[in-house]
Amino acid sequence: MASGHSDLKRKSSSQYLLQCRNATILFVGVSQFEINFGSDEFTIALHFNPRFNADGDHNTVVCNSFQDFKWGEEVKVGSFPFRQGQEFTVIIDFTPTKFVITLSDGSTINFPNRIGAKEYSVINVRGKVSLISLQIK
């Protein structure tokens, strides 16, 4: 992850506001980035993966989970409000049954919480994005 800072605030265990800015480090030609929620690196309840041009996908959001050393079935979403070099906000709410992801354009993605936990201890952001703030409510 490129340079930046994060602001962590916890108010409850189910809502995460992830605000990212990629104006100076998301270069033309970058293919994707990802946000992962899980228990550890081998148990990922939510793999949120906007793909500009990667793995045969163009301007597509892919969600998945990883458990028992294997990926689940991908869910591909048509809404893609991300633009290289522009700030964006992602709000992720979850319950033991689902994740609700609200994107900058107001569209939402519902993804099943396949692991079913009430809390996750790992949040991982990978790719050429600069994390401006992360609020845990």
Domains of the chain with CATH codes: 15-136 (2.60.120.200)
Maximum distance among all Cα pairs of the chain, rounded to whole angstroms = 39
Cα end-to-end distance, the chain, whole Å? 23
Average pLDDT (99-125) is 92
Average pLDDT (19-25) is 38
Q: Is there a contact between 93 and 14 (Cβ–Cβ < 8 Å)?
A: yes
> Who's near 56: CB < 8 A, 6+ residues apart?
none
SS3 content of the chain, % helix, strand, coil (to 5): 0, 55, 45
For 97-109, the pLDDT digits (tens) are: 999 999 889 999 9
Assess whether pLDDT exceeds 90 at residue 30: no
Q: Which two tokens stand for residue 29?
A: 């030609």
> Who's near 119: CB < 8 A, 6+ residues apart?
13
> Who's near 94: CB < 8 A, 6+ residues apart?
14, 37, 45, 46, 100, 113
Q: Please tell me the predicted confidence (pLDDT) of residue 15.
A: 52
Closest CA to 51 of 31, 37, 71: 31
Q: Is there a contact between 4 and 128 (Cβ–Cβ < 8 Å)?
A: no
For the full predicted model, state whether its pTM sits above 0.75. Answer: yes
SS3 (DSSP) at 49: strand
Average pLDDT (63-80) is 95
